[in-house]
Amino acid sequence: MSTSHKTTSTRLWVMPTLIVLGAVIALVAVFFWGRSTATTEADSQPPAAQQETEEAETVPPEIVEQVIRRDAEDPLAVGQTDAPVVMVMFSDYQCPFCGRWTAETLPEMQQFVDAGELRIEFRDVNMYGEDSRRAASASVAAAEQGEFTDYHARLFDGGETLDGFSAEALTDIAAEMGMDTDQFQADMDSEKTAEIVQTNEQLGQELGATSTPSFIINDTPVVGAQPADVFIDAVEEALANTQE
């Protein structure tokens, strides 16, 4: 694939037509905003109670079409583009709950990814500001060298967010992983990366996904670092629905 074709394909999905969503986006914002308080209260409940709390409404199909991309050029995704179930994760690299989910639940989801049943698309909302935005840019740069999954996990440092996201610290991690640091820095500062980061951030804000982590699994929203069983059940239910 030529560089010009790849750039054109990337721009097709990094410039979503958010203007046409209007009132429909507001409906999904209600799902996320309204459920964030319930999720906070559910953190102190046993897993069964949390799962009941997170029994979610269905996201309108107009929103699903905008949120789930299935684009082969999406650098922040794992799994086959034609997987029957797609999970979109809205997160922030400075969010400890996102780190916990990445350490404890993401490995459980990998079984579905490996089986070709699940695709996971990551969207950084950068609600904590410039450090989060810089880390999101670094994850895109790592993805350009085929190292997104491992770099993504390293930024969460095994479930605990790193203390600093300076450009130097982020580049040092890339160097430790054996990446081309000159290319890494160039990609981190590129216009293409800036567009990807800005578009994902804007989408999360428009949808009201300011409580991280927040998820959409096919057409079902889930808020919070719920136990792995909640996500396993949601994926299995979505798989069953696609076979009906």
The secondary structure of residue 169, as a DSSP letter, is H
Number of domain units in the chain: 1
- Which of 61-70, 152-161, 233-242 is predicted most confidently? 233-242
R_g (Cα) of the chain, nearest Å: 17
Gap between the Cα atoms of 165 and 172, Å rounded: 11
Confidence class for position 161, pLDDT limits 50, 70, 90: low
Q: Which residue has the higher pLDDT, 222 or 19?
A: 222
Gap between the Cα atoms of 85 and 143, Å rounded: 22
Pair of tokens at residue 31: 């799902």
Residue type, 20: V
Domain that holds residue 184: 3-242
- Percentages helix, strand, coil for the chain (3-state, rounded to 5) are 60, 10, 30
What is the edge-to-edge ordering of all strands in the sheet holding 85-91?
77-78, 118-124, 85-91, 214-217, 220-223
Q: What is the pLDDT of residue 35?
A: 47
Q: What is the CATH number of the domain that holds 210?
A: 3.40.30.10
pLDDT in tens, 61-77: 888 888 999 999 999 99
